Amino acid sequence: MTHRQKIRKAVIPAAGFGTRFLPQTKAMPKEMLPIVDKPVIQYVVEELVDSGITDIVIVTGWHKRAIEDHFDYPNELIQTLKDQGKEKLIDEVKRTAELANFVYIRQKGPYGNGTPVLCAKNVIGDEPFVVIWGDEFIYSKPPRTKQCLDVYYKYGDPVISAIKVPKEDVSRYGIVEVTKVEDHIDQIKRLVEKPSVEEAPSNIAAHGCYVLTPDIFPLLEQAKPGKSGEIWLTDAIRELMKTRPVYACEIQNGKYYDTGNKLEYLKTVIEFALNHKDLNGEFREYLKSLKL
């Protein structure tokens, strides 16, 4: 494996309005929706940290202060927990604040998922970096980000995480046409955003985690706004593919949780509650007792 510059920075775009969860998300960021006792974005941050990322840039908006507060170091809360003798909770609260170095940027510019990445340009500088969404995650061992980084360290070109989806669901995702490189690694030939079942070149959905190189930034700056005047990351990646390979890393031993979707969010909460060490027994019995 060729020696590559170690990737230590990640960008989490988190400025969206979460319209699918209104009115819940009118005052509460969708990334802060709880999965039992941790918000969605904490699972995302823990995945990054477990993959070796140390600096996390979260791109927010005026309505996302709760995210900053969540990863802050809350001295008053810690003192109150000390006074109440709740040492275990103190450790958990401290751990959350100490997961990484957090940098917060307010999003400026047009809508679309390319804009927040471009907003992080000055913090990322001339380094390869990770982009990962704050309202969904893949639970896998090793973590999805680590699997993608391993592909980057081997080949030295951008990588997108990928999962195989049922053929009837292809219109929900960016679907790729690929050439196989080795087990679980493909070179992307074409990226089709939300195709119909007939148009889809495969059932491999590539999205969620992106290992990118800094040459993406000029392409984002030059990107022409698409539908609704939005700047899309996939448009810039298509341009990048004209000058260098981009790989898809099919994630192994993982399950995708689309927590930006009401039904999938509820399924995720139930599944994680069933696996929670303090809840699984009683909660399982409660579910069995329901006359469904």
The verdict on residue 3 lying in a domain is no
Same domain, 170 and 277: no
Please give the tally of structural domains in the chain.
Answer: 2
What is the per-residue pLDDT for 172? 84
Same domain, 99 and 79: yes
Same domain, 289 and 211: no
For the chain of 292 residues, list the mean pLDDT of each consecutive stretch of 10: 82 86 84 92 95 96 88 86 86 87 90 90 95 89 96 96 91 90 94 88 92 96 83 92 95 87 91 89 90 81
The verdict on residue 2 lying in a domain is no
Same domain, 290 and 206: no
The verdict on residue 1 lying in a domain is no
Same domain, 265 and 251: no
Same domain, 94 and 44: yes
Same domain, 151 and 290: no
What is the per-residue pLDDT for 124? 96
The verdict on residue 23 lying in a domain is yes
Same domain, 234 and 127: yes
Domain that includes residue 218, residue range? 9-260
Same domain, 217 and 267: no
Same domain, 98 and 220: yes
Q: Residue 100: which CATH number?
A: 3.90.550.10
Same domain, 285 and 198: no
Residue 46 tokens read as 């823990």
Same domain, 69 and 31: yes
